[in-house]
Structure 1
Amino acid sequence: MLPQIPVFDGHNDFLLRLLNHPLRREEIWNGQDGTGHIDLPRARAGNFAGGFFAIYTPSPMSGDLEQMFAAMDTPPYCLDLPPMLPMTEAVNVALAEAGHLMWLERKGDLQICRTSAQIRAAMAAGKIAAILHMEGAEAIGPDLDALHVWHAAGLRSLGPVWSRPTVFGHGVPFAYPASPDTGDGLTQAGKDLIRECNALKIMIDLSHLNEKGFDDVARLSDAPLVATHSNAHAVTPSARNLTDRQLHQIRDTGGMVGLNYATQFLRPDGMRGDCGWQEMLRHLDHLLSILGEDHIGLGSDFDGADIPSCLGDVSGLPKLLQAMLDHGYGQDLVVKIAHENWLALLERSWGM
Structure 2
Amino acid sequence: MVQPVFDGHNDILLRLQMAPGRRDSIWLTGEGRGHLDLPRMRAGGFAGGMFAIYVPSPCAPGAPDYMAMMDAPPYEIELPAMLPLEWAQPIALSMAGHLLWMERASEGAFRLCRTAAEIEGARRDGVIAGVMHMEGAEAIDPGLDALHVFHALGLRSLGPVWSRPTVFGHGVPFRFPGTPDTGPGLSDAGKRLVRSCNALRIVLDLSHLNEAGFNDVAALSDAPLIATHSNAHAVTPSTRNLTDRQLDMIRESRGMVGLNFATVFLRPDGRRSPDMGWEPVLRHLDHLIGRLGEDHVGFGSDFDGAEVPQGIGDVTGLPALIAALEGHGYGPALIEKLAWGNWVSVLRRTWGE
**Interval of TM-score (by shorter of Structure 1 and Structure 2):** over 0.9
Q: 8 Å contact 2:6–2:49 — kept in the other structure? A: yes
Aligned to 1:43: 41
Distance 1:96 1:141 in 2: 17
Aligned to 1:102: 100
Secondary structure of 1:157's counterpart equals: strand
Aligned to 2:7: 9
> Offset of 1:67 from its aligned partner?
1.9
Q: What are the Cα deviations for residues 130-187 of structure 1, in whole angstroms up to 9, with x where unaligned? A: 1100000000011001101111111100000000000000000000000100000000
Q: 8 Å contact 1:31–1:42 — kept in the other structure? A: no
Aligned to 1:165: 165
> Offset of 1:64 from its aligned partner?
4.9
Aligned to 1:113: 113
Distance 1:195 1:66 in 2: 39
Distance 1:85 1:179, change over 3 A: same
Distance 2:318 2:42 in 1: 11
> Offset of 1:301 from its aligned partner?
0.1
Matched ranges for 1:14-33 at <5 A: 14-33=12-31
Distance 1:329 1:283 in 2: 14
Aligned to 1:323: 324
Aligned to 2:308: 307
> Offset of 1:36 from its aligned partner?
0.2
Aligned to 1:231: 231
TM-score (norm: length of structure 2): 0.98
Aligned to 2:151: 151
Aligned residue type for 1:106: R
Q: 8 Å contact 2:30–2:38 — kept in the other structure? A: no
- What's the RMSD between the two structures over aligned residues? 0.9
Matched ranges for 1:256-271 at <5 A: 256-271=256-271
Distance 1:348 1:341 in 2: 11
Segments of structure 2 that go 5 or more residues without pairing to the other structure are: none
Count of aligned residue pairs for this structure pair: 350
Distance 2:347 2:61 in 1: 40
Between 54-63 and 155-164, report the one with greater CA deviation. Answer: 54-63
Distance 2:179 2:173 in 1: 10
TM-score (norm: length of structure 1): 0.98
Matched, 1:212 2:212: yes
Counterpart of 1:90 (choices 85, 88, 91) is 88
Q: What are the Cα deviations for residues 320-350 of structure 1, in whole angstroms up to 9, with x where unaligned? A: 0110010000110000000000000001100
Secondary structure of 1:30's counterpart equals: helix
Aligned residue type for 2:78: D
Matched ranges for 1:168-183 at <5 A: 168-183=168-183
Aligned residues with identical type, % of pairs: 63
Distance 2:102 2:60 in 1: 32
Aligned to 1:294: 295
Q: What are the Cα deviations for residues 260-306 of structure 1, in whole angstroms up to 9, with x where unaligned? A: 00000000011101222111111000001100000000000000000
Q: 8 Å contact 2:161–2:169 — kept in the other structure? A: yes
Q: Which runs of 4+ in 1 moved over 4 A?
A: 63-66
Segments of structure 1 that go 5 or more residues without pairing to the other structure are: none
